Chains A and B, each alone.
Chain A
């Protein structure tokens, strides 16, 4: 509507050009993954950038399933992430409720203590935790990974959830009380339903962080069959680094779930950034 002046038109075109350039840079490596996954080794070496000869070459995909047992790696990751989610929420939701809606001595102090825990770098707790878990026989067991993932997610989840739960109307809780609802009934009937979006936000945030995590599973899971997909892409498939298109296909597989989650649940991921920014 404001294309009255030629300079205006020029400025606008330049803007779109710049923004498009950044968009191409942002997307190209992902496109590169997809294109390379359809190439043979020879094809890739001759021309790493171009289009594959055919999109019907699916040996790399077959290798993922039969040689690297990607379904198993996906299963591992989903299982660990699921357990960590359950554990994390099981302790974070009641704690957030207490901070948001209960009055008690040291409430402020305890909440500050909880949030201060956010700044502890994972590296600082890794060495003693490793020795501790090794003594308990938990190294190379997913229990170690689940415990560390869940524990390190608690401060951020409590921070966000307790802020959101303050908005739960006190009258609703009061009414449930009068109806004779006990603690667990109140949680199930009032707190959980009313905190749905907040719980979804922290869950999606945590799941993405765990799915993408390298350090914790790399340290605690050593045998190939216990690994997560992200760590497997960095370790098992790295052993076949001469077959670059196959390695790239592995990276693509590891990236697909986060990309799909992002496409469908963008809104929650953006909100989760508030928590992420604190880590």
Chain B
């Protein structure tokens, strides 16, 4: 029985030593792959080999369906997208055009305008970050009923972005609830056709983004705060450290991993997660002023039929996400090795 893999497992990878969930993919990549070596002792070689082989076969059979599904529905289409990015594909025929799609994308106005839309959401991240951190700290420090508040803040997060988008489109329409509320608060000069002009349309989009993100941020930061030892804060309080000092000297430094996580998650979201929201709130308008990259891909592919152009554009989007993910891996590497 001693040759059984289950047993070796306990010595080489005890659960207690497993890395925290967040940094896991990085840790996996960095971990030594020494366990795959089959013991070369002559006497034990044959039975050991066959057991090892049987376990390998079991493992591969367990993995095969998952990898098959991913290969067919994800990898193969992505490879095709990559190929079709170099063609003028229209669904039926595809002629190789080299880098023409890419030069057209990078020199034309559409991509830059779409990129600008995505960057508006990136630039908006610090705002919601500050709100989330402040709310979380207030909840953590003293609020009675913090569980209740946390639940309420998370409610918008579980709703469909499409449903929320349509609802906000209704609320921010010229005759909508928002203008009514502003009127009754004596802020009549602020009423306007919110979705009628690019700038205010962006204000509405960022509001929707904030509205759906508060709950997520509070959840992440409360989790981060709960790992701060309370006696540390108590000691600081006894030493006469004021609220501001406790916040900047103790709480914020310990929240850095959670903040990095929140920022990077939302940066990726700003490029690949905004479709449903923008599609329903502004539909990219007025004109094309609030069209992000993924909505532009959708329009080019499913409305204009320029599948080659859309493919090249989605490869660029993929590349952007890859770069952000690479930065993420670097940052988490640094945070976890410290």
Contacts and interface: CB of A to CB of B under 8 A. Distances in A.
Q: Do A and B bind each other?
A: yes
Contacts of A269: 154, 158
A203 interface: no
Contact of B215 (A26, A108, A147, A177): A26
A151 B72 contact: yes
B177 A98 contact: no
A230 interface: yes
B307 interface: yes
Nearest to B262: A277
Contact of B138 (A18, A25, A109): A18
Contact of B77 (A95, A132, A160): A132
A158 B314 contact: no
Contact of B216 (A152, A163, A273): A273
Contacts of A170: 6-7, 9-10
Contacts of B168: 29
Contacts of A121: 271-272, 294, 314, 317-318, 321
Contact of A151 (B5, B73, B307): B73
A105 to B, nearest CB: 4
B202 interface: no
B308 to A, nearest CB: 9
Given A26-B155, A154-B69, A277-B265, A107 B36 contact: yes
Given A127-B81, A273-B216, A120 B318 contact: yes
Contacts of B70: 114, 117, 151, 154-155
Given A102-B62, A112-B28, A125 B149 contact: no
B149 A23 contact: yes
B311 interface: yes
Q: How large is the interface on A (under 10, 10 to 19, 20 to 34, 35 or more residues)?
A: 35 or more
B63 A94 contact: yes
A200 interface: no
A48 B73 contact: no
Nearest to B208: A29
Contacts of B25: 112, 115-116, 159
Most chain B beta-carbon contacts within 10 A, residue among A16, A123, A277: A123
B163 interface: yes
Contact of B175 (A27, A48, A119, A126): A48
Nearest to B53: A104
Interface of B: 1, 4-10, 13, 15, 18, 21-22, 24-25, 28-29, 31, 33, 35-36, 52, 55-56, 58-63, 65-67, 69-70, 72-78, 80-81, 84, 91, 135, 138-139, 141-144, 149, 151-156, 158-164, 166-168, 170-171, 175-177, 180-181, 184, 211, 214-216, 219-220, 261, 265, 268, 271-272, 275-276, 279-280, 294, 297-298, 301-302, 307, 310-311, 314-315, 317-318, 321-322, 325
Contact of A22 (B13, B153, B297, B298): B153
A98 B66 CA distance: 11
The prevalent SS among residues of A at the interface is: helix
Contact of A259 (B159, B220, B314, B322): B159
Contacts of A18: 135, 138
Contacts of A188: none
Given A91-B66, A108-B29, A26 B162 contact: no
A124 B162 contact: no
A197 to B, nearest CB: 14
B304 to A, nearest CB: 12
Given A112-B25, A230-B163, 18 more contacts: A32-B171, A48-B177, A107-B59, A112-B28, A119-B322, A121-B272, A121-B294, A121-B318, A126-B298, A129-B77, A131-B91, A154-B69, A155-B70, A166-B15, A213-B160, A219-B298, A269-B158, A273-B219
Given A32-B171, A120-B318, A125-B77, A112 B311 contact: no
Contacts, number: 302
B66 A33 contact: no
A163 B17 CA distance: 12
Which of B22, B61, B149 has the largest count of A CB atoms less than 10 A from its CB?
Answer: B149
A110 interface: yes
A270 interface: yes
Interface string A36-74: 000000000101110000000000000000000000000
Contact of B161 (A130, A159, A212, A251): A212
Given A258-B158, A266-B151, A127 B311 contact: yes
A111 interface: yes
Given A48-B180, A163-B24, A15 B162 contact: no
